[in-house]
Structure 1
Amino acid sequence: MTTKLDQLIERIEELRQELNRLSRNKDLADPELLTASRMMDAVLNEYNRLLIDKAKE
């Protein structure tokens, strides 16, 4: 069974690869690249919150 933490790590890797791909072909101010970056930020924030919650347990 995959844990929430494992799922987030997989999603982070997917988004990292997507950002790398987009950054090769797009200007850094391109809306598609900015959207992908915001998605990465949201997932990283969720990952950090989960780690903090686990540390409190």
Structure 2
Amino acid sequence: MGLIEKQTLTLMIHIKRTEMVEKAKNRGLTHPEVVACSQELDVLLNRYQKIA
């Protein structure tokens, strides 16, 4: 995986994490939207771990 792709994935992780934190502040940790966002973040983090 190239540097650009790795940087893009890193940015996507940052954005998704920020989105999840904001939703958790407004809706609570167990809200379905927060859980879904957390699962999406897990997928991104797993992809990153495979290339790191």
- TM-score, normalization: structure 2? 0.87
Which aligned pairs between 1:1-57 and structure 2 lie closer than 5 A? Answer: 3-51=4-52
Task: Note the residue ranges of structure 2 that are not aligned, 5 or more in a row.
Answer: none
Bigger Rg, structure 1 or 2: 1
Corresponding residue SS for 2:28 = coil
Measured after TM superposition, the shift of residue 36 of structure 1 is 0.2
- TM-score, normalization: structure 1? 0.80
Identity rate, percent: 26
Measured after TM superposition, the shift of residue 27 of structure 1 is 2.1
Per-residue displacement from partner, 1:16-52 (whole Å, max 9, x unpaired)?
110111011112111100000000000000000011x
Counterpart contact for 2:24–2:31, Cα < 8 Å: no
Superposed CA RMSD in Å reads 1.1
Runs of 4+ aligned residues of structure 1 deviating over 2 Å after TM superposition are none
Task: Note the residue ranges of structure 1 that are not aligned, 5 or more in a row.
Answer: 52-57
